[in-house]
Chain A
Amino acid sequence: MTSDPVRRLRVLAAGLHAGMYAEEHLPLPYERVWPVAADLRDELPHLVPFLREFRVPPGDADRKEALAVGRSGLTEAFEVRLSPGWCLMQSRLVVGGMAAVPEAGGTRFAVLGATRPAALRPAQWLYGRLLGERRGRAFVRRVAERAALR
């Protein structure tokens, strides 16, 4: 099971009662899609609307510390786990995840977003139902657009 990152992310979304989770088949090869997701420093600010900068050390270590800088200038430290087809990021407040596997000549891509503090959970549940899937689908669409540009 854990050899399929998308299935793994689906389980985490269930466990975290994630407000945002979406997965879609993209008609683009995995070799073109995953590099977009894995290039956190250059691509993540294009994929997350409120993110200005994502400072992450170069290199292919699977565990990294990163700093997210929002459009408002607020910063948030993240722990990042990155491996082929798999990315999980966590700060004090939020969790983000992406996963991809080759599928029928294209790519199955999944994205997860969740809030951490217990106090935010009821809001996450409410807004998740209204917006989560749509925001998730928009994220996946942006990944496809960025991959098509490569």
Chain B
Amino acid sequence: MCGQGEDASRAEPWETAAALVRAAQGGDALAMDELLVLVSPYVTRLCRPIAPHDAADAVQESLLAVFKGLRGLRDPVAFYAWVRTVTVREAVRVARRTGAEEPADPAGLARLGGLRADADGDLPADVRDVLARLPVRHRAVLVLRELEGLDEAAVADLLGVSQGTVKSRLHRARSSFRKAWSR
């Protein structure tokens, strides 16, 4: 009925998640709660760089969409990939809703070394600051390509645009990012 998460230290994250997804799809609320606790840090990591000004809202909207749609997920092993798709869509939507983009602080930008996540997969605050200055569509492409390591075809598929568009956005995003931190 529950407790699938107790094997989490031995199992791969997607295996742990898959067992919880199956139980949650069957109406097991304790398993669903374990799954929610398990996946929240991943959703937070994706949302912060894409919707830096509204990260808490983006996380909540993403989790609501994920768990509302959980019953429809056919392959529990694909849970994380599906969460990524839903989260990026929701984070972009939330970020566009407010569309807050402020000019960068040059002193902060000078400290940046690149788009590198720390051991927890989180971005340093100063890198997040620079990302926050980029247009939402550039942020989403950078996060998926550089942080999540997706290829251009997968990014195009996920964002519902052509590969050519991804290529050009990536080029512009990298060049603005480089400009931003080398200023």
Chain A residues close to B by CB (< 8 Å) = 1-2, 7-8, 10-12, 14-16, 79, 81, 88, 90, 95, 97, 114, 116-118
Q: A81-B33, A88-B29 are in contact. Are A1 and B60 (CB under 8 A)?
A: yes
Q: How far is the CA of A136 from the CA of B68 in the complex (A)?
A: 20
User: Across the interface, do B28 and A15 meet the contact criterion of CB distance under 8 Å?
Assistant: no
Contact of B37 among A2, A7, A16, A79 (CB under 8 A): A2
User: Across the interface, do B27 and A88 meet the contact criterion of CB distance under 8 Å?
Assistant: no
User: Across the interface, do B27 and A117 meet the contact criterion of CB distance under 8 Å?
Assistant: yes
Contact of B67 among A2, A11, A88, A95 (CB under 8 A): A11
Task: Answer yes or no: B110 CB below 8 A from chain A CBs.
Answer: no
Task: Output the least CB separation between B43 and chain A (Å).
Answer: 7
Contact of B33 among A1, A7, A12, A14 (CB under 8 A): A12
Main secondary structure on A side of the interface with B: mixed
Task: Output the least CB separation between A89 and chain B (Å).
Answer: 9
Q: Please, which residues of chain B bring their CB within 8 A of the CB of A118?
A: 27
Q: A2-B37, A79-B1 are in contact. Are A12 and B29 (CB under 8 A)?
A: yes
Contact of B2 among A8, A15, A79 (CB under 8 A): A79
Which 3 residue pairs of A and B lie closest in terms of their CB atoms, listed nearest first? Answer: A15-B67, A95-B29, A116-B27
Task: Output the least CB separation between A3 and chain B (Å).
Answer: 9
List 28 A-B residue pairs with CB atoms under 8 Å apart, sorted by A's residue number.
Answer: A1-B43, A1-B44, A2-B37, A10-B60, A10-B64, A11-B36, A11-B60, A11-B63, A11-B64, A11-B67, A12-B32, A12-B36, A14-B64, A15-B24, A15-B36, A15-B70, A16-B27, A16-B29, A81-B30, A88-B29, A88-B30, A90-B1, A90-B2, A90-B30, A95-B29, A116-B27, A116-B28, A117-B27
